[in-house]
Amino acid sequence: MGDILAFTISWIVVSVLGEMGVHALFQKGLYYYTATTQAVDGEAAFAFILTILTPVFAFIVVMIIYSMIRFRARDQEIRPSRKQFYNNKAFVSIWITISIVLNLMFFVHPTASAVEQMFNSERARYNSHDLIVNVTARQWQWFFNYPQYNIAQAQDSNGNSILYLPANRTVKFVLRSYDPMHTYDPYIGVVHGFWIPAFGLKQDVIPGETRYLYVHTTKITSFEVNPMVRVQCTEVCGPGHPFMEAPVHIVSSSDFLKFVKQQQQLQAQQS
């Protein structure tokens, strides 16, 4: 009985310390940087799972360490314990029950609840005025097209692709993989990965398929503020893969309109 009491006290102390450490980590942010509601939701889901599993992890670690210290052989002679048992039905039943409950809970939340939230948010946007950005991936560059503003390709003064988005706005990315610089069949291109770390989402871009990704921006920021605000390919697509990235700028609505006007003027000069 003394061992059970000592173990329980040790487990509670370690669990409390662990939860304090996890809470301090929450305050600093589990993700490096967040700029969309989707990233914030993902961070909250991770925090929920980590909070629940900290006592479980502490139980296992304390059990191993306590057993190593308390029941170790203190000399060269290994003597059998006076009380031995190979099975404890109560412990096994409780452990299995808790494991089943935890797995079912995590399946319902945050897994199923997050999927339902994502589907519902996309369904509600079918008839809304989202900003649409067509994204084309090719070896080894990103192209950004704004069909609502007749911008065929957004680029800076040096001809490099750039992505500008307004803050506090829902954005619908239309993703395709195709190399306009080559004449081969688009269905035999390569797979790319569209990833903006600060957005907390990633989507594979597959030749011959059109995929969609929805985000809602939450702050004014840019690649210059934090390197996580960039488009980065996450699928190995050839020797230029590590350099297949593009800066992202999230600006105010007025600055976004200035960007649109600038791009339209630049496009008119090139035509």
Q: According to the model, what pLDDT value does residue 194 have?
A: 96
CATH architecture of 131-270: Sandwich (2.60)
pTM beyond cutoff 0.85: no
Cα dihedral value 253, 258, 259, 260, nearest 10: 90
Distance CA 136, CA 34 (A): 24
In Å, how far from its chain's centre is CA 152? 30
Instruction: Tell me the backbone φ, ψ of residue 203, rounded to 5 degrees.
Output: -140, 130
Q: According to the model, what pLDDT value does residue 111 have?
A: 79
Q: According to the model, what pLDDT value does residue 126 have?
A: 63
Q: According to the model, what pLDDT value does residue 249 have?
A: 96
Q: According to the model, what pLDDT value does residue 186 have?
A: 53
Q: According to the model, what pLDDT value does residue 72 have?
A: 77
Residue length, the chain?
271
Each residue's pLDDT, cut to its tens digit, for the chain (271 residues) gives 788 899 999 999 999 999 999 888 888 777 778 999 888 888 888 889 999 999 999 999 999 999 888 877 766 666 666 666 677 888 889 989 999 999 998 888 887 777 777 777 667 666 677 899 999 998 889 999 999 999 999 998 888 999 999 999 999 999 998 765 555 555 557 899 999 999 998 999 998 889 999 999 999 999 999 999 999 999 998 888 999 999 999 999 999 999 999 999 888 887 6
Q: According to the model, what pLDDT value does residue 108 have?
A: 87
